[in-house]
Amino acid sequence: MSNKQFVAQEIAKVLPDLDAASIVKLLEQPKHADMGDLAFPTFTLAKTLRKAPQAIASELVDQLDKSAFEKVEAVGPYLNFFFDKAGTSGQVLKQVLSAGPSYGQQDLGQGKNIVIDMSSPNIAKPFSIGHLRSTVIGDSLSNIFQKIGYQTVKVNHLGDWGKQFGLLIVAYKLWGDKAAVEANPISELLKLYVRINEEVTDHPEYDEEARAWFLKLENGDEEATALWQWFRDESLVEFNRIYKELDVTFDSFNGEAFYNDKMDEIIDLLTEKDLLTESKGAQVVNLEKYGIEHPALIKKSDGATLYITRDLAAALYRKRNYDFAKAVYVVGQEQSAHFKQLKAVLAEMDYDWHDDVVHVAMGLVTKNGQKLSTRKGNVILLEPTIQEAISRALTQIESKNPNLANKEEVAHAVGVGAIKFYDLKSDRLNGYDFDLDTMVSFEGETGPYVQYAHARIQSILRKADFTPDAAGNYQLADADSWEIIKLLQDFPRHIQRAAELYEPSIIAKFAINLAQHFNRYYAHVRILEDNAERPSRLALCAATATVLKEALGLLGVEAPDEM
């Protein structure tokens, strides 16, 4: 039972007109600690009870069973509840210390499956910051859902199909150089792609050829398939290097091409349900009744299928193979029209699970306040940027802790963690400005700041030579530790909310908050001072470290013991 529920239950005992659930909704968290931990405003009762709120508050105080609280005060129209700090701290510390890393683990998912479509870069194109966001957010959501008892399937829906591969084949056959592609696959392939897109204006025949090559590819032509496979393999070598740096894994790399032979079924199903209409030679599904102006284009006049056709096949395949409770797509906000169409077509097809398809949208990342644009040279090249973050982390570690044994490893955890954390701490729909200086700083609301708080605690525990006893009788009643205790107690609820809203930023903000409160504690309290409270203070440290590490873990960020 949460604290709120407990308080509500106590109030309900003396206020038979209201049930606990509606009391919970009225309870407020006071801004100031001297107004208690929870406050119950009596304004709304004045009418039914025909009494002034002040009078109600003071009568309630008299009637309440106050034994479970430090005190309960009536202040004007409010009832202020002060929790029993000593007792609560003992309970919370026991819970965290006995659960250890599994503190916060819940069974809300009951083993059901959640498919997370994430990262999904395009073959022969650079891995963009948008793909980085999707990778990092998707991975964190997977951790969060696992923590509340779901099984997750992380799918990399590679953009490895479409007419652009026809164009790329034409370009490669005209100007390609095998050795150059092998040396620098994505940048060489991108050059070819950019060039053919420029030259096609003067050479409309390229377009025809590209169409023909893509058709060959769709029909399994040997040469076309071999070239496509090669482009794909070479691109994946680069992508996999990034995934390795980020320490992110996938359960499936079934991209768009995987659904090539599953497209006919979609056309058949749509035909059977009489949903296809012809429009200028193409096959479309009208979605006006969903308030969607543009029909979904399913098949072009030349017979080629589209992005959405493949997404329909993918959705069906995932439902059948993973029997998902939710299918989550972590993709930029600029694709929301696409996902609206996708859901609407699934609804038209009478799949009752269309509501379980969720577009987890994200905002744009800018640099120096400007939109990123390859053309304008405002780009973030991911691999060198990650290396730069790691080397800046190393510089800071070298000045703070020159004797650290595994500096390189820690610098990697800090540099990569800094980029991930910064991405995850902003509400996903808000973009952010990509600024390495801010991200890698040990000060401010950053990953390194939280990691440092965790490492600081580990160092205190080493110095004290303290191992907490899960059965120990720990108790703290001071104001600084109380703030920490309340956060520790709230961690499971934050995990739940982060899952409900598909919002890892809730965990990131929680981690910052906990680290800040710990640092305040560290500044105010002599933790190692030898007196009766010392074991309790150290137990608080140990529990805080456990939860910080666990929160960072949910974000896919490591927590080194020393840094």
Residues at the site binding ligand ARG, with contacts judged by CB under 6 A: 117, 120-122, 157, 159, 311, 314, 329, 331
Contacts with 307 (C-beta within 8 Å, 6 or more apart), sequence order: 162, 256, 338
Q: Which of 499, 510, 543, 494 lies closest to 149, judged by CA?
A: 499
Q: How far is the CB of 294 from ligand ARG (least distance, A)?
A: 17
Q: How far is the CB of 231 from ligand ARG (least distance, A)?
A: 15
Residue 417: burial class (beta carbons within 10 Å; 0-12, 13-18, 19+)? buried
DSSP characters for 129-184?
Answer: HHHHHHHHHHHHHHHHHHHTT-EEEEE---B--SHHHHHHHHHHHHH--HHHHHHS
Tell me if residue 286 falls in helix, strand or coil: coil
Q: Which is nearer to ligand ARG, 121 or 415 (CB)?
A: 121
Q: How far is the CB of 216 from ligand ARG (least distance, A)?
A: 23
Query: Cα(82)–Cα(137) distance, rounded to whole angstroms?
Result: 38
Q: How far is the CB of 238 from ligand ARG (least distance, A)?
A: 15
Query: Cα(111)–Cα(94) distance, rounded to whole angstroms?
Result: 27
Q: How far is the CB of 337 from ligand ARG (least distance, A)?
A: 12
Q: Residue 137's Cα: distance from chain center in Å?
A: 3
Cβ pair 557, 451 in contact under 8 A: yes
Q: Which is nearer to ligand ARG, 118 or 276 (CB)?
A: 118
Contacts with 174 (C-beta within 8 Å, 6 or more apart), sequence order: 196
Q: How far is the CB of 117 from ligand ARG (least distance, A)?
A: 5
Query: Cα(206)–Cα(172) distance, rounded to whole angstroms?
Result: 12
Q: How far is the CB of 155 from ligand ARG (least distance, A)?
A: 8
Q: Residue 18's Cα: distance from chain center in Å?
A: 38
Q: Which is nearer to ligand ARG, 328 or 424 (CB)?
A: 328
CA distances from 63 to 9, 14, 39, 248 (A): 14, 7, 16, 56
Cβ pair 329, 357 in contact under 8 A: yes
Q: Which is nearer to ligand ARG, 314 or 527 (CB)?
A: 314
Query: Cα(29)–Cα(36) distance, rounded to whole angstroms?
Result: 8
Helical spans, DSSP H, in 31-128: 45-49, 53-63, 85-99
Q: How far is the CB of 170 from ligand ARG (least distance, A)?
A: 22
- Give the residue nearest to ligand ARG (CB): 159
Q: Which is nearer to ligand ARG, 42 or 122 (CB)?
A: 122
Cβ pair 508, 555 in contact under 8 A: yes
* Opening angle at CA 134, ends 133 and 139, nearest 5: 105
Query: Cα(117)–Cα(338) distance, rounded to whole angstroms?
Result: 14
Tell me if residue 436 falls in helix, strand or coil: helix
Q: How far is the CB of 156 from ligand ARG (least distance, A)?
A: 9
Element (H, E) at 81: strand 78-83
Q: Residue 341's Cα: distance from chain center in Å?
A: 24
Q: Which is nearer to ligand ARG, 315 or 397 (CB)?
A: 315
Amino acid present at 417:
G
Q: Which is nearer to ligand ARG, 7 or 124 (CB)?
A: 124
Q: Which is nearer to ligand ARG, 81 or 165 (CB)?
A: 165
Q: How far is the CB of 211 from ligand ARG (least distance, A)?
A: 21
How many Cβ atoms are within 10 Å of 100's Cβ, its own excluded?
A: 13
Q: How far is the CB of 530 from ligand ARG (least distance, A)?
A: 58
Tell me if residue 473 falls in helix, strand or coil: coil
Q: How far is the CB of 36 from ligand ARG (least distance, A)?
A: 48
